[in-house]
Structure 1
Amino acid sequence: MNAAVPRRRRPTGGLVAAVALSGLLALYFVLVLGRSVALVRTGEPVGVALGLAFALLPLVALVLIAREWLLALHVQRMADTLAAAGDLPVDRLPRSPGGRIDREAARAAFDPARDAVEADPESWAAWYHLAFAYDAAGDRRRAREALRTARRLWRTAAGSR
């Protein structure tokens, strides 16, 4: 008797694009760092200063990109947990013919998500739902903040996953 083999998920177009873009950025960083080293090797004070500055910028960008990848991985794990519990947020909001979410519907969907966070501010799932309500309302900055809060609570609840 054959045991059921779990199906592997196929990468989505967004994931493939993100990996490709990250690869191109890595190539860019290598090229910039090569130029930075060449500037530092000139020994000229201006060349050394520019070389160090040019080397610092890709390193800062690399840290920020790594931070976003880690957030994306944790958000996917949280989504898997919510999906297994049947609690994954579903976007059923009405849209215009151009694909924009109806503002009134987004506002109406936002209120219950905000109320859930106010009722239980330590619930990572409530923060996760609030993040998607913010996103539907068009507030991407607050959506990211809510996802980061959800991740912090999720990791704390599971002992720093």
Structure 2
Amino acid sequence: MTSRTGFFLLSAALLVVSLICVGEGVQLIATGKPLGIGLGVCAFVVPAIGVWFLRATVRFGRASERLAKELEAEGGLPVDELRRTPGGRIDRASADEVFARRKAEAEAAQGDWRVFFRLAVAYADAGDTPRARKTMQHAIKLHGSSTDPIGSKS
């Protein structure tokens, strides 16, 4: 199963659970009892948080994909330059070596979203997903400010 398929399956499950929560929330509020009303309101908040998170994830994915396509058109996408074990896993020393090079590039060109995109890929290859995501968000922010001087979001 690809990550995109998994995402769509989990999104569908989130939406189904959200509908169930809202339905149960309506029934709890209809009881007219203070405790039921309180729990019913909470049943609306939980799906709202889930939908917000889903929306943020979709926006992040689309923005990352847009940057990747633009970088690919420029011929600047990072190629798979990592050594692998016979089993196909990334060699840790190779990932660390590429990461050090990408980090130096990012420190030298602080305002270039391209180097931060490549650094995010290096973080992901090194297995540091939280930093990869944060670095990709920084690249997206830099890209937005470089194409739109006013800084408005689409």
TM-score by length of 2: 0.90
CA distance in 2, matches of 1:99, 1:110: 19
CA distance in 1, matches of 2:55, 2:146: 23
Q: Does 1:42 align with 2:42?
A: no
More divergent stretch after superposition (80-89 vs 38-47): 38-47
Question: Runs of at least 4 residues of structure 1 off by over 3 A?
Answer: none
Contact 2:14 2:50 (8 Å CA) reproduced: no
More divergent stretch after superposition (36-45 vs 105-114): 36-45
Q: How many angstroms does 1:42 deviate by? A: 1.0
CA distance in 1, matches of 2:140, 2:41: 34
Count of residue correspondences: 150
CA distance in 1, matches of 2:47, 2:79: 37
User: Residues 42-64 of structure 1: CA distance to partner in whole angstroms, max 9, x if unpaired?
Assistant: 11111111111121111111101
The residue type paired with residue 145 of structure 1 is: K
SS of equivalent residue, structure 1 residue 91: coil
TM-score by length of 1: 0.86
CA distance in 2, matches of 1:33, 1:99: 45
The residue type paired with residue 23 of structure 1 is: A
CA distance in 2, matches of 1:16, 1:139: 23
| Structure 2 counterpart of 1:28, from 11, 14, 17 | 17
SS of equivalent residue, structure 1 residue 138: coil
Q: Does 1:95 align with 2:97?
A: no
| Structure 1 counterpart of 2:61, from 53, 72, 76 | 72
CA distance in 2, matches of 1:22, 1:149: 25
CA distance in 2, matches of 1:32, 1:97: 48
Contact 2:82 2:91 (8 Å CA) reproduced: yes
Unpaired stretches in structure 2, ≥5 consecutive residues: none
SS of equivalent residue, structure 1 residue 89: coil
Counterpart for residue 50 of structure 2: 61
The residue type paired with residue 29 of structure 1 is: S
The residue type paired with residue 142 of structure 1 is: R
Unpaired stretches in structure 1, ≥5 consecutive residues: 1-11
Q: How many angstroms does 1:109 deviate by? A: 0.3
The residue type paired with residue 135 of structure 1 is: A
SS of equivalent residue, structure 2 residue 55: helix
CA distance in 2, matches of 1:28, 1:154: 36
Q: How does 1:128-143 map to 2 (within 5 A)?
A: 128-143=117-132
Contact 2:68 2:77 (8 Å CA) reproduced: yes
Q: How many angstroms does 1:13 deviate by? A: 4.1
More divergent stretch after superposition (99-108 vs 71-80): 99-108
